[in-house]
Structure 1
Amino acid sequence: MRIFGPTGCRSLREDDPSLLSNAVYVIELALRMSPVPVSVQRKEHSDAEALYQQIRQALENGQPRLMELTCEKVEGKKVTLLVSEVLAVQLYEKAAAAGGSKRPGFSFDS
């Protein structure tokens, strides 16, 4: 991948620390009767994975009834959801350097 910026063009590799330091992990939830997903972000993959598993467990058990989520990237951003209204949850990495990439998820387009 090539990044164009004020200092010119440079190549990025998967193990490039500058790419990893800008990465955030997004947990996105699809809600019943809502065309817009709800998403929160985590700075660490382990924190994002733990939240993903917590939401998944709540979907399986139906408990807790309400779940409050906070966002690490945007201070003070929080939302409380009725677990029974969550249809799907996905976890993906969003790198600041990867602007213009295709939206994550599943599609039939190749």
Structure 2
Amino acid sequence: MYIVEFALKHTPLPLTVQKKGKEAAEATYKQALDAIASGNPVTLEITCDEVADKKVAIAVSELAAVQMYDKSGKGASAGRQPGFFALAGE
């Protein structure tokens, strides 16, 4: 399972969706990255694979960053949680 996390401007908590496969997570990440770069579309609607009825609609103008990581946390160094604020305490 993979997590795609969206950081919004002026909002301390990220929005997240879960994707079952790496390819689906990478496609969602790329979709968000392309939207940030171009400003089109104006909104992104993302669905979650884990929770069937979970949908997130994001105004691209409010999107500050996007990241993707493995839910198991295998890639996390020294047992730290992945996230945009992981280095804040250092």
**Fold conserved between structures, TM > 0.5:** yes
| Unaligned 5+ runs, structure 2 | none
4+ runs deviating over 3 angstroms: none
Q: Name the structure 1 match of 2:27.
A: 50
Q: Name the structure 1 match of 2:80.
A: 102
Which structure carries more strand by proportion?
1
User: What SS does the corresponding residue of 2:52 show, helix, strand or coil?
Assistant: coil
Q: In structure 2, how many angstroms separate the alpha carbons of the residues matched to 1:90 and 1:96?
A: 13
Q: May I ask how many residue pairs the two structures share in their alignment?
A: 84
Are 1:65 and 2:45 matched, yes or no? no
Task: Name the amino acid aligned to 1:37.
Answer: P
Larger CA Rg, structure 1 vs 2: 1
Q: In structure 2, how many angstroms separate the alpha carbons of the residues matched to 1:67 and 1:103?
A: 26
1:59: Cα distance to partner?
Answer: 0.3
CA shift in 2, pair 1:108/1:81, >3 Å? closer
Q: Name the structure 1 match of 2:63.
A: 86
Normalised TM-score (structure 1): 0.70
Q: In structure 2, how many angstroms separate the alpha carbons of the residues matched to 1:27 and 1:59?
A: 15
1:82: Cα distance to partner?
Answer: 0.3
Which string of whole-angstrom CA distances, capped at 9 and with x for unpartnered residues, describes residues 47-76 of structure 1? 100110110000000000011111000110
Normalised TM-score (structure 2): 0.84
Task: Name the amino acid aligned to 2:30.
Answer: Q
| Unaligned 5+ runs, structure 1 | 1-23
